[in-house]
Amino acid sequence: MKLSKLIFGAAALSFLAVACDSDDGNEEEKKPSGVNLAIEGLEALGSDFVYEGWLIVGEAPVSTGRFTDPTLKFQEVEASVLETATAFVLSIEPADETGEALAAPAATKLFRADFAEGVDTATISYKTINEKFADLSTAKDEISGKFFLRTPTDEALGAGDNSNDEAGVWFGTPGTMPPAASLELPVLAADSGWKYEGWAVVNGVPYSTGTFSDPKAADDNAMASLDSRPIETFRGAENFGPPIPGEDFINNLEGTGFEGGADLKGATIVISLEPVPDNDPKPFTLKPLDGMAGQETAPTAYDFEENLESFPTGTITR
């Protein structure tokens, strides 16, 4: 009896040990697989838009899920998808998107991070963003530009009267007629989901100079003027300005404190990248160029500086 009890006891312990090992194995198998997001520099998108991650498998995008928290660290994904993915894409999507639109990323892709063969970590950088939103034929290894203070749209004071030139800012180089374009930025593809937007920041408040896709052509404010938009709220009523991006803040702007025109001396001048559509009147987090205006109007020109620190950085690990 004692021997049989010992044998039975040993068998029971053996069974328990096997069961425990089996449970551990199951727990290991059930451990979630996915992508670890170590992204710095994302901003909250508001109530109308969400971020969505995508793994690229072959040529097909597979959603890893939507999120609104810019500090999100993990998205669960099937192991088979992870193993065959070649890249991770982060897009900005309408929150109320339905139907077929849910099956693929929106045009507004914030970045694409590629996995090298045999490597499980992909790096996010300005280059990975630049290459995806731009017309690649105009991609730039280095970006730069100049701006100057002048009010070329103001005809009211007569030719040669530069008494209010501190109220306008234009992205180019003065000294020729018309002023020369100067922004060395990629042309944004029509379907990129992005537009550039100029800003004059006065006393901490940003004022838009207009959006544009081609940094060497007139911005959308000028085009809107030709379509009878009341742009004279900003510019002179008789002139839509030179064929480069920029704005004249020469008339009273309700609620801005610009009585009789702005004073942009000492203002911070910024070029941002804005998602399309854009539901936020403030500049988006991506600000590739910025500079500070001095106390002199044209013919003095001021330099933009690269501001690539405003772009998200980090890694995606599968």
State pLDDT tens for residues 55-87.
999 989 999 999 999 999 999 999 999 999 999
What's this model's pTM, rounded to 2 decimal places? 0.80
Output the six-digit token pair for 31.
Answer: 């451990």
Q: Looking at the structure, tell me whether residues 301 and 165 fall in a common domain.
A: yes
**Does residue 183 form part of some domain?**
yes
**Does residue 2 form part of some domain?**
no
Q: Looking at the structure, tell me whether residues 106 and 147 fall in a common domain.
A: no
Q: Looking at the structure, tell me whether residues 42 and 146 fall in a common domain.
A: no
Rg (CA), the chain: 28
**Torsion angle, CA of 70/76/81/87, rounded to 10 degrees?**
20
Q: Looking at the structure, tell me whether residues 266 and 304 fall in a common domain.
A: yes
Q: Looking at the structure, tell me whether residues 54 and 155 fall in a common domain.
A: no
**Does residue 26 form part of some domain?**
no
At 5, the pLDDT band (50, 70, 90 cuts) reads very low
Q: Looking at the structure, tell me whether residues 203 and 299 fall in a common domain.
A: yes
Per the structure, the complete domain to which residue 258 belongs is given by: 138-308
Q: Looking at the structure, tell me whether residues 191 and 112 fall in a common domain.
A: no
Q: Looking at the structure, tell me whether residues 265 and 196 fall in a common domain.
A: yes
Q: Looking at the structure, tell me whether residues 116 and 41 fall in a common domain.
A: yes
Q: Read off the pLDDT of residues 117-136 as tens digits, 9 standing for 90 and up.
A: 889 999 987 665 555 444 54
Distance CA 296, CA 96 (A): 48
Output the six-digit token pair for 84.
Answer: 């065959």
pLDDT exceeds 60 at position 153:
yes
At 111, the pLDDT band (50, 70, 90 cuts) reads confident
**Does residue 178 form part of some domain?**
yes
At 257, the pLDDT band (50, 70, 90 cuts) reads low
92-106, 135-149, 279-293, 301-315: least confident range: 135-149
- The last residue of a domain, from among 102, 124, 146: 124
Q: Looking at the structure, tell me whether residues 206 and 81 fall in a common domain.
A: no
**Does residue 317 form part of some domain?**
no
Total tally of structural domains belonging to the chain: 2
**Does residue 229 form part of some domain?**
yes
| SS3 per residue for the chain | CHHHHHHHHHHHHHHHHHHHHHHHHHHHHHCCCEEEEEEECCCCCCCCEEEEEEEEECCEEEEEEEECCCCCCEEECCHHHHHHEEEEEEEEEECCCCHHHHHCCCCCEEEEEECCCCCCEEEECHHHHHHHHECHHHCCCCCECEEEECCCCCCCCCCCCCCCHHHEEECEECCCCCCEECCECCCECCCCCEEEEEEEEECCEEEEEEEECCCCCCCHHHHHHHCCCCHHHCCCCCCCCCCCCEEECCCCECCCCECCCCCCCCCEEEEEEEECCCCCCCCCCCCCEEEECCCCCCCCCEECEECHHHCCEEEEEC
Output the six-digit token pair for 261.
Answer: 């025109």
**Does residue 239 form part of some domain?**
yes
- The last residue of a domain, from among 59, 92, 124: 124
- The last residue of a domain, from among 66, 89, 124: 124
Q: Looking at the structure, tell me whether residues 120 and 246 fall in a common domain.
A: no
Q: Give the type of residue at 103.
A: A
pLDDT exceeds 90 at position 238:
no
Q: Read off the pLDDT of residues 194-224 as tens digits, 9 standing for 90 and up.
A: 999 999 998 888 988 999 999 999 998 876 5
C-alpha 264: how far from its chain's center? Answer: 26
Distance CA 306, CA 299 (A): 23
Distance CA 279, CA 195 (A): 13
Q: Which residues contact 206 (CB under 8 A, 6 or more apart)?
A: 199, 200, 270, 282, 283
Residue 144 pLDDT: 92
Q: Looking at the structure, tell me whether residues 53 and 87 fall in a common domain.
A: yes
**Does residue 191 form part of some domain?**
yes
